[in-house]
Structures are given as structure tokens and as C-alpha cells.
A and B are shown apart, each in its own frame.
Chain A
Amino acid sequence: MARVMLDVSSVYKSFSEPVLVDISLNLNGGEILGVVGPNGCGKTTLLRIMAGLELPDRGSVRRKGKVGIVFQEDRLLPWKTLWENVALGLKYHGMRGEELAKRVREYSSMVGLTDSDLSLHPRKASGGTRRKAALARALVLEPEILLLDEPFTGLDVKARTSLREALKWIWDEYGLSTVIVSHQLEELLPLADRVYVLTPKPARVAKEIDLRGMDLERRLERVKEALFHILSRSGTE
């Protein structure tokens, strides 16, 4: 049986009003887990709690290994080049010189960044390149768990395809346990092994769907059906 890398148990979070209620889910080793739900339902808050950037009011989160997070906005330091942005975490962990340069190059090329991309400042780079740099910044620390918040939002078709291919290559090579929060089902569902469908705010887990063995059409049908059911039920309440 696969090892549980991330265990979220009965998490409750409130910001003046409840945002997450009794959320329980788990991420197994080497698995890609999708979290979907209506806009503003609390998906990002849940991801931040998984990353340890936010504490739950109740419940617990257990992580088996280092966590890397890629935010919805790239959050790259505008006064540093992409190379310097990717290297940030390594520098904070005391790595210097050739060892650092080698690691930055390795992970940057893994996500498809070239040397000329890395020499750019964020304002000069395209949205896709910036997103890849943000991904490389998280990967360079070699996390065991990767959390991606809306990784495809704001990118054009070419950039989305390129990012999806980079992610797929990384998963095939390293089997990195990953949670993806996304409302872009067409991008998320071909990648995910399982999906948790959340209700509108306050978010609860409405359904867990195992997508393995299904073709894309079936995956889309199952998840859309679940979302439709949730939305129509919340509309009648």
C-alpha cells in the first residue's frame, strides 16, 4: 500500500466566517491529487494550510517530507533575475558556488528554462517562463510533496501545453507526490489520479473520485457531474 505523504484530518478554518469545515483528505506517495470546487470556495486556503503557511483553527495536517509550493501568482522578486529567483531557497539553506549553480541549472532545464530565460528579470519574461521559474524555485529544494495553486491560470495555450509537458516529465521521472488546486478541468484532469470535489464556501469535501483507468472524456463527465450536483444542491438550499 502506498505511503501517505500528506494527511489532512478534520480541518476547520474561519476568517470571520467559516471557510473550511471538517476537511479530511490524503495524498499518497507518487500520486497526483486534484482539488476542484467553485470559485472562492477556499481551495487556496486549504493549500496554504497543507503547506504550513496557515494554521487550521481545528484539525491537523501531517506531512511526511519537505513541501514545495507554487503560488497562483508567480511571486518572483522583481529586482532579481529568474536565475537568482530560482536560487533563493538554496542560498537560504547555505548552498553556494558551483554546487548551487549546478542545481539551479539542473532544475531549470528540467522545467524547460534556457540560460537566456534565466538571465531575464521577471518583467521581461513571458507569463509561461515566469511560471516555470516559480516551479523551478520550488523544485530546486527537492521537495517530497509539491503543491500547485492554479498552475495554468493566466497562461496562453502554448504556455499551458509547455508547462503541462514539463510537469508530466517531472512526475514520470521522479514520481513527485503533488496536489493541484485548479478550476481548469481540461488541464487538471488528464494529469490527476484522484480528485476531491469541494462544496461552495464554507468548503466541505463533497466527493472523492478515483480517476485511474478512465479516459479524459469519462473523467470530465464524472467531475462535471459532481460539480453540477453540488452547485444545483447549494442553489436550492
Chain B
Amino acid sequence: MVAPVGERSGTMTQGRKEAGKGREIAFRTGRILAGLFVLAIWISASATGMLPCPAEVLAYLLSMKLEDVAPQVLKTLYNSITGFSLSFLASMVLGLLSHKLSLVKGFSEALSEIFNSTSALVWSLVLVATLGVLSPLPPILVVAAVTLPHVLTATVSALSSADPGLLEAVRSVGAKPSDEFFEVILPSSVPLLASASRVGLGTALRISVVAEAFGSSGGVGYMIIRSYNLADASGVLAWSIVLIALVLGLDQLILKPLERRAKRWLE
């Protein structure tokens, strides 16, 4: 006997819900498997004596004092956020001017291409050689230089993503070009800028440690290279885990929720 339509659609909804739950469980299992995979590689490598085993590194991590870790983490955060802010500000200015002036558009594109093809290592060496090993500026400037092309590209496309219908609507009630920018173009670009910031800040954190490794002004990168120079493999891995925790924590606890919130902005 054929079930009534309401009953059939109820069964279908139930079926879809169960399929969705199944996919969610599979997805989470995949994530756990990835963690176990990394751990298995680590354990295999440590069995050959190349790396300290996870237990040793865990013991090292537990022995680290908060007053030793916090200043280095804060230093890395400071370098990353300041460097990223510089590139964000430069991108906003260049992005805005590119919108209006072809000269600036050409300049920005060429600058992006040059910066994009220069590695973080080259920037670090050049800036440390120029500004000195003791200068606090190289990590900040390296982060700014490396993140600039990505942030600039995202900013230019974000600033041109405004709905032409909304621009026409504000023009129809007398908006001037500056009103159009502040009332429509800038708010419309918030979700794209938030996504770009999420990616950019994650990159900034990973890049800042490269630059810190070449200077001696502190930071997680500096601690990694210091442990390496002291042939302290557990220290290298422990500080690397601190960095991973920092990148993941910032992304999952702050940047991802902010991005989600920004995406709802245009609904």
C-alpha cells in the first residue's frame, strides 16, 4: 500500500536527517584520523631515534612555565598582528585608490606580483641585514610584505563587490561618491575582508616565526631556533606545538566566529 503524501514526506525528511548525521559523523571521524595519522608518523620517526617521542615532548611542554611561554607568545602575536595591520591598511589605501586611478591600479598589481614572488626567507635575510639583528622591525615588516599581495588582491575584489542596485538606490536619494564608499562599498566588503583577514592572520602567524628565527628579539620562532641551536629536539617540537596551538586557537576561537558573523552582515 502506498503511504499518504504527508507520511511519505515525513519519512523522507527523517531519512535526509539521518544521512546528514551520518555524513557529520564520517567528517568528524576523518578529522580524528588525520590527528592519529600525524601522531603515527611522529611515533614511527621517534622509533628510529630521529625525533623525541611524544611523551618526552609532552613532559617538556608540562615543564614549561607560563611566565616563560606567555612573553614569547605575546611577542609573536604582536609581530603578526602589527605586520598584518600594516598590510591591511596599505591594502585599503591602495585598493581604494585603485578603484579610482588606473596609475595606482597598475602600481598595486605590479607591487603584488613582485611581493608575491619573493619568499619570506629572502625578506627575512634582507631586512635583518638592513635593520640589524637586534631590531624589532624585521618580523613585522616580513609579515607585512608577505601578506600584502593576498590582502591587497582580496581588498580590491572586496571593494568592487558592492551590489550595483544598492549603489543606484543611494545615488537616487542624493549620495555623493564619499557616501557611496562609506555607506555601501565599505560595508558590502565586510564579509570578504573578514575572510581575507582570517587567512591573512593565519599566514602572518606562520610567517612571523620565520622572521623571528633570524633575529634575536624573541617570539616563538626565536625559541624554536634557539632550541635547535642548543640541540634540544624536544624544545623545538614543544615550541612548534605552542605555535600550532596558537594558530588553531586564534582561528577557531576568534577568527572563524568573526568571519561567520561578518557573512551574516549582508543577509
Contact = CB atoms under 8 A, between A and B. Distances in A.
Given A75-B166, A77-B184, A137 B267 contact: no
A71 B164 CA distance: 13
A92 B174 contact: yes
B267 A78 contact: yes
Contacts of B266: 78-79
Contacts of A68: 172
A71 to B, nearest CB: 6
Interface string B233-267: 00000000000000000000000000000000111
Nearest to B169: A75
B165 A92 contact: no
Nearest to B175: A92
A226 B175 CA distance: 40
B165 A75 contact: yes
Interface string B155-177: 00000000001101111111110
A223 B85 CA distance: 63
B187 interface: yes
A93 B190 CA distance: 26
Interface in B65-121: none
A68 to B, nearest CB: 8
Given A77-B184, A79-B266, A89 B173 contact: yes
Contacts of B179: 92
B162 to A, nearest CB: 11
Contacts of B173: 88-89, 92, 137-138, 141
A137 B172 CA distance: 10
A229 interface: no
A2 interface: no
Given A75-B165, A77-B187, A78-B266, A53 B175 contact: no
Interface string B186-215: 010010000000000000000000000000
What bracket does the count of chain B residues touching chain A fall in? 10 to 19
A63 B261 CA distance: 45
Given A77-B183, A78-B265, A79-B266, A71 B169 contact: yes
Contact of A51 (B166, B172, B187, B267): B172
A176 interface: no
A8 to B, nearest CB: 18
A69 to B, nearest CB: 5
A145 to B, nearest CB: 12
B176 A92 contact: yes
Interface string A33-62: 000000000000000000101000000000
A53 B187 CA distance: 23
Contacts of A69: 172
Contacts of B267: 78, 123
B172 A53 contact: yes
A225 interface: no
A157 to B, nearest CB: 26
Interface in B33-69: none
B183 A71 contact: no
Contacts of A106: none
A165 interface: no
Among A53, A69, A92, the most chain B Cβ lie within 10 Å of the Cβ of A92
B265 A88 contact: no
Contacts of B172: 51, 53, 68-69, 138
Contacts of B168: 53, 71, 75
B171 A53 contact: yes
Contacts of A141: 173-174
A141 B165 CA distance: 20
A26 B266 CA distance: 39
A210 interface: no
A77 B175 contact: no
Contacts of A115: none
B165 A73 contact: yes
B38 to A, nearest CB: 42
Contacts of A137: 173
Contacts of A123: 267
Nearest to A72: B165
17 contacts: A53-B172, A69-B172, A71-B168, A75-B166, A76-B169, A77-B166, A77-B183, A78-B267, A79-B187, A79-B190, A88-B175, A88-B183, A92-B175, A92-B179, A123-B267, A137-B173, A138-B173
